[in-house]
Amino acid sequence: MNTHEENINYLIPNMNSAKHHFYNDPETTIEMWLADMDFSICDAAKESLSKFIDNGDFGYGFIPNQYYESVLNWIKQYHNYGLEKSNIYVVPGVITAIYSIIYEFTEINDCVAFFSPTYHAFRDAVFDTGRNSLEIPLKEKEDYYEIDYSVFEELIKITHPKILIFNNPHNPTGTVFSVNDLQKMVTLAKKYNFLIISDEIHMDFVPCSKFESMINLFSNYSKIIVLTAPTKTFNIAGAKIANVIIGDFVIGKRFKERLKSYGIKTPNTIGISLTIVCYEKGSKWLKEVNRVIEDNYNYLLHEFGEFSDSIRIFKGEGTYFAWLKYLGAFL
């Protein structure tokens, strides 16, 4: 199926992960229901984990400077805003951050917006926190989705959301939003006074030259929170770690206090250690992974090409998912 496997290895399914545990039958089932890739982690991460285990110290952890440096160096590829260590808040996951932000910056029954189709966890987060959802439909084009700004503005005029949860690259459709999109969104956020959460967890599956981070708009608008993580990129979701990037000091302070109120204080040492090694030594592995994803996407286009009357495949600009639309009459 692909020709670039020299630096990456496929996982042998085992029951440690939720993905393989759920159906519990790797002989007969190909599990695709959860967003883990089928690659074993990079060799550098394996070696580092082995050393960690040999050392035998599993005490409470702290966040060393090296962690912040590795995160800042990594995201420097995507932004030109002068970020510092104090702009980074370490959390056990992007979704944990989203729930915390909703609780901190909205009241019960306030409206929280997101684009649809949506990553299901955004809808869950709004529902679970007792807020009202505003689903802003993306406009379906021939093989991609875009934001329809007149619909967007009409809806926010009526519902006055306090937050827009946005993800770029977009899960599930694979759209990567342009600089122009980000600017328009910020213009609307300023006009209608809502906070933007920009979940950029899939950013590493897009070439740097094609991806614009909301971090670059921090100087235009203070109410932006960017979420990143090494977990999708390096297939280490079980390490439960993510970074919340906040430009505004007051928003950052409120967010930190909110985390504290949940008792989220000391980090997961394995997550810290894996983040450092992946960001410092994982680039080559990631490049190979991205090649395989591209090959697989082309394979999909090729194999389904003859069924184009029945199945539409959307442009996979970002993420490792493919978004397909069933148009009927297949078999």
Does residue 37 bind ligand PLP (CB under 6 A)?
no
How far is residue 271's CA from residue 34's CA, in Å, rounded to a whole number?
20
Q: Give the residue, chosen from 94, 112, 147, 186, that forms a contact with ligand PLP under the rule CB under 6 A.
A: 94
110/200 with CB nearer ligand PLP: 200
| Span interacting with ligand PLP, options 70-78, 82-90, 229-237, 308-316, rule CB under 6 A | 229-237
- Residues near ligand PLP (CB under 6 A), total: 13
Distance of CA 142 to the CA centre of its chain: 25
- Shortest distance, CB of residue 317 to ligand PLP, whole angstroms? 14
User: Minimum Å distance from CB 257 to ligand PLP?
Assistant: 21
**Are 292 and 279 contacting, i.e. CB atoms less than 8 angstroms apart?**
no
In 3D space, the residue among 308, 305, 312 whose CA is nearest the CA of residue 326 turns out to be: 312
Closest CB to ligand PLP among 37 and 156?
37
Residue selected from 41, 42, 90, 95 as contacting ligand PLP according to rule CB under 6 A: 95
Contact between 219 and 268 under an 8 Å Cβ cutoff? The reply is no
Minimum CB distance to ligand PLP, residue 307 (Å): 27
Question: Do the Cβ atoms of 173 and 290 come closer than 8 Å?
Answer: no
Closer Cβ to ligand PLP, 196 or 201, answer by number: 201
* Dist CA 131 CA 93 (whole Å): 21
| Shortest CB 308 distance to ligand PLP, Å | 27
Contact assessment for residue 200 and residue 168, using Cβ atoms and an 8 Å cutoff: yes
- The rounded radius of gyration (Å) of the Cα atoms in the chain is 20
Site string (242-271) toward ligand PLP, x via CB under 6 A: x-----------------------------
Question: What contacts 13, CB < 8 A, 6 or more positions away?
Answer: 20, 26, 31
Nearest residue to the partner ligand PLP, using Cβ: 93
Out of 106, 113, 174, 199, name the contact with ligand PLP by CB under 6 A.
Answer: 199
In the complex, what is the shortest distance from the CB of residue 75 to ligand PLP, in angstroms, rounded to a whole number?
16
For residue 254, give the 3-state DSSP assignment. Answer: helix
In the complex, the smallest distance separating the C-beta of residue 136 from ligand PLP, rounded to whole angstroms, is 16
Work out which of 35, 75, 112, 274 binds ligand PLP, going by CB under 6 A: 35
Residues 6+ apart with CB under 8 A from 112: 102, 106, 125, 126, 129, 131, 132, 133, 134, 161, 162, 163, 164, 165
Q: Which is nearer to ligand PLP, 70 or 243 (CB)?
A: 243
| Residue carrying structure tokens 């921090």 | 218
Q: How far is the CB of 117 from ligand PLP (least distance, A)?
A: 12
> Which CB atom, from 128 or from 309, has the smaller least distance to ligand PLP?
128
* CB neighbour class for 312 (10 Å; exposed up to 12, middle 13-18, buried from 19): middle
* Options 106, 133, 213, 231; binder of ligand PLP; rule CB under 6 A: 231
Question: With respect to ligand PLP, which residue has the nearer C-beta, 122 or 285?
Answer: 122
Q: Between residue 163 and residue 192, which ones bind ligand PLP under the rule CB under 6 A?
A: 167, 171
Q: How far is CA 205 from CA 27, 233, 318, in A?
A: 30, 7, 5
Phi and psi torsions of 312, nearest 5°: -100, 130
Residues in contact with ligand PLP by CB under 6 A are 35, 93-95, 119, 167, 171, 199, 201, 229, 231, 237, 242
